[in-house]
Amino acid sequence: MNSFAQTQRTITIAYGPGYANSNIWRDLHSKLIIPTEIVSSTAAQRYNPALILIDHHLLREKDFANWRDEFPEAIFLCTDSVDVDADLILENELPYRQTCKLLEMACYQWVLKSEKAERARLRDTSFRYLNKLADISISLSAEDDLMTLLRKILSEGQNIACCDAASLFLINEINDNERELVFKLTQNDSMDFPFEEMRFPLDESSVAGYVALTDSELNIPDAYLLSETVPYKFNQSFDKRTGYRTKSIFAIPLANKQKEVIGVLQFINRKKARSLKIADEKSALAYTLPFDSDINVLLQALASQAGIAIENTILQNDIKALFEGFVNASVAAIEQRDPTTSGHSFRVADLCVDLAKSVSLSDITRLRNARFTDSEVRELRYAALLHDFGKVGVRESVLVKEKKLTAGSLEKIQYRILLAKERLKTQALSKQIAMYRNGGFDESRYTDIDRQLQNDTHLLDEFYNSIVEVNEPSILSQDNKAMLEKINAYRHGSQDEELAILTPDEFALLSITKGSLSPTERKEIESHVVHTQNFLNHIPWTKEFQNVPSIAAAHHEKLDGSGYPYGMTESEIPMQSKIMTICDIYDALTASDRPYKPAMKTEQAIDILVQESSKGLLDGDLVKVFVDAKVFRVIDSKEYADSSEFSSFSHHPCDFDLHEEGHGHDHEAHSHKSHSHRD
């Protein structure tokens, strides 16, 4: 049977009692064929034969179809007197050489059939593994949280290798000349135990260190039987502490795209079945297997994917940290420009995030489609943090303008009034001296001149006091307006040189009906939104954050088109901007860091938001969610920057949403009174 011998496969031939006396079985014992007599299908099952010779005795137990169903992988031979559709027919009268040839052919046919089935199985297995690796690759590439990614890598490795435990080590660069190995994560099917990240020097003394430094794999059948000649040792401390028994180990390096080793994957105790538990040395020796080459190839593929996925995730996290640092630095720059409102941007961001999440959970019909993804929530957060960055483009003199008059103007007015007083005194004295010179001294006339001087001086004092009062950013009353016009009309000096108390610009500023800013200055404050958008447009945002500039630019828009800078209407304003507007106004009302007004109570601020929504300025459904979900509480339990050390005045742009002309809000009086209260 030379052709069969070349296959080097040992198979069993089972034959019925009718073939027991054949002389051929004596010679087959020295071949790769093991002949075995069987009297029933039960006996055949014990040997799982490749070739079965069916005779009448075996057919009496069950018909041929049942034999084939029970042994689908076997080749059947029958006598020619049996009327069945067998694979081959063996005639009792065949010559010896022909019989051997026939058996050889049957065995060879079984080998070919088995090899074909094995190739098909391997193809199916390879296809399943390739699909699995593809799924793993997609899953790993989609994960941006490092620890979740590492857990996925270990879990998938355990599934592939059917192993009890897995560990992951990452290399950390301490400086240019020193690196360390970080024991980042471990998983174990057989036991739970507290895990703490550990760090140790990167050298060849440990299994993981050796793999990392040499960029090579280690396949260790038994960790307790390492050769004395290898430089690495297995650390048995965990086993001694827990009673566990580590036996087989497969350690493989993790490399990045540049083929640099960034870590080590270590798989421990490959098992006969994943469900088996390894509690002690006995179970470890009974259940564990060495890692074979087929499994190792798959683990190598996993390690290749894992190394790149880890590098990408770390890089993404570094970029996120860098961007977070940039945003925080930008907010710090805003607050340095206006330290009296420090914490505002962070509070608004926290309120926006919580309101967006609450909207996603809302059952309000109109908001059912407003479900924000995690990326959209982060986009809103960045827009909220940077929404006031444009304040850096507002002139300092406008930003810190506390009174209606510009800095130094009141002192100039006071100087003019003092000058007017001196001129009045000079004029009065000149008249009295003239009386003496002309020899017509009249005591009554002299007294009238003194009285008139006192009245004129007192009037100038009233002028100054009125100017000081009107200079406050409070509502201009009719009485004050009349006095202001009187002051503006006043002139002193000779006919050739009549001097006024107020310049036209000063009169215009003092005539501001409420607040301290002129229309031009108010426009400049409002321009902070355009400055913000221009600044944000220069940042190369990724696709997921590309709407940050437009969201931030619309946070002062109102649904009725009365907002600024573009006068957008409800359909034009992004939903995230509507959210930010509500949160921005709420914080402007309740902030305790404004030196020029006390903070409103939550109830008052909510009433104002409801009023604004009822007038068609704010989104009523969003206001309802803000109130019902108690979004405002999110900032109650957090600590923000303390600006109590700053007492200087500074306009906050967001306050002006509450002081627009023509709205007649009840809360304006509160704000105006608070200005007076401060002073």
Query: What is the band of 5 on the pLDDT scale with cuts at 50, 70, 90?
Result: very low
- The lowest-confidence range among 215-219, 440-444, 603-607, 639-643 is 639-643
| Residue 677: predicted pLDDT | 32
Number of other CB atoms surrounding residue 229 within 10 Å: 5
Q: Residue 147 corresponds to which tokens in the numbers above?
A: 């620890």
**pLDDT surpasses 60 at 62:** yes
Region of residue 593 (left: phi > 0; alpha: psi -120 to 50; beta: else) = alpha
Q: Kindly report, residue by residue over 374-421, the tens digit of the pLDDT.
A: 999 999 999 999 998 888 777 777 777 778 888 888 999 999 999 999
Handedness of CA 170, 172, 178, 183 (dihedral sign): negative
Backbone angles phi, psi at 399, to 5 degrees: -60, -40
Q: Residue 3 corresponds to which tokens in the numbers above?
A: 């052709």
Q: How far apart are CA 494 and CA 485, in angstroms?
A: 21
Domains and CATH numbers, the chain: 2-117 (3.40.50.2300), 143-316 (3.30.450.40), 338-398+523-678 (1.10.3210.10), 409-515 (no CATH)
- Average pLDDT score over the chain: 81
Q: Residue 372 corresponds to which tokens in the numbers above?
A: 């924000």
Task: Give the side-chain half-sphere CA count within 13 A for 245.
Answer: 18
Residues facing 88 on adjacent strands: 77
pLDDT-above-70 percentage for the chain: 77
In single-letter form, the type of residue at position 594 comes to R
- The more confidently predicted of residues 181 and 11 is 181
Average pLDDT over residues 551-563: 93
Query: What is the band of 25 on the pLDDT scale with cuts at 50, 70, 90?
Result: low
**pLDDT surpasses 50 at 440:** yes
C-beta separation of 500 from 491 below 8 A = yes
| Residue 13: predicted pLDDT | 67
| Residue 462: predicted pLDDT | 93
Q: Kindly report, residue by residue over 101-144, the tens digit of the pLDDT.
A: 666 666 656 666 666 666 666 566 555 666 666 676 766 676 77
| Residue 113: predicted pLDDT | 67
Average pLDDT over residues 608-619: 94
The residue to which tokens 């048995």 are assigned: 236
C-beta separation of 560 from 569 below 8 A = yes
The residue to which tokens 């002028």 are assigned: 463
| Residue 307: predicted pLDDT | 84
- The more confidently predicted of residues 279 and 261 is 261
Region of residue 8 (left: phi > 0; alpha: psi -120 to 50; beta: else) = left
Q: How far apart are CA 119 and CA 128, in angstroms?
A: 14
